[in-house]
Amino acid sequence: MKPVIALVGRPNVGKSTLFNRLTKTRDAIVADFAGLTRDRHYGNGKQGKHEYIVIDTGGFEPDATSGIYKEMAKQTRQAVAEADVVVFVVDARGGLSAQDHDIAKYLRKLGKPCILVANKAEGMKEGAQLVEFFELGLGEVFPISAAHGQGIRSLVDVALEPL
Ligand code: GDP
Ligand code: MG
């Protein structure tokens, strides 16, 4: 069985763009509109020696109680349940939000391997802007740029090497 990576994070942080990078397809719907990808979406991927399955998800609102957000949260919980490792994507440019804190709290309780990734980090100086993400209590922050294909290979290594 190939390891399963679930991409989790609030809408618009670049999960679908990362999914496309990891699977080298344009299958995921990349939207300029928050929350368009509402269903789980699976793809096969290969980077170097690693072969894996990726699950893209819609944006996650852990405490959503109604409508589409409740459904998105359910889909995401199911994706996380199926995953061997969770990649939690935050926005290096947008900074931390209350939603990020809620998701982090959920993931910390889960006790599954979780990699914290700051996307949209192209052209940013290492360090300074990423320090705030340590607040999430998930350890090291890995800067990547899904759109520009930066940091993808090392992300896969970090996510799958310990499995
Ligand atoms: P999702 O809602 O988390 O799936 O986010 P999407 O993949 O749909 O991307 C949301 C927006 O962020 C789109 O306009 C993307 O082009 C943009 N985006 C995604 N990755 C990057 C990146 O690495 N850098 C920058 N600058 N923009 C990105
Ligand atoms: Mg999406």
Residue 100 CA: distances (Å) to CA of 21, 39, 117: 23, 20, 12
Alpha carbon nearest to ligand 1 atom 24, residue? 120
Q: What is the CATH number of the domain that holds 92?
A: 3.40.50.300
Residues 15-33 have a mean pLDDT of 77
When pLDDT is cut at 50, 70 and 90, the band that residue 65 belongs to is confident
Residues 91-109 have a mean pLDDT of 93
Burial of 111 (0-12, 13-18, 19+ CB in 10 A): exposed
Alpha carbon nearest to ligand 1 atom 13, residue? 32
The number of folded domains in the chain is 1
Ligand nearest to the CA of 94: 1
**CA dist., res. 104 & res. 106, Å (int):** 5
**CA dist., res. 146 & res. 163, Å (int):** 23
Say if 136 falls within a structural domain.
no
What ipTM, to 2 d.p.? 0.99
Say if 47 falls within a structural domain.
yes
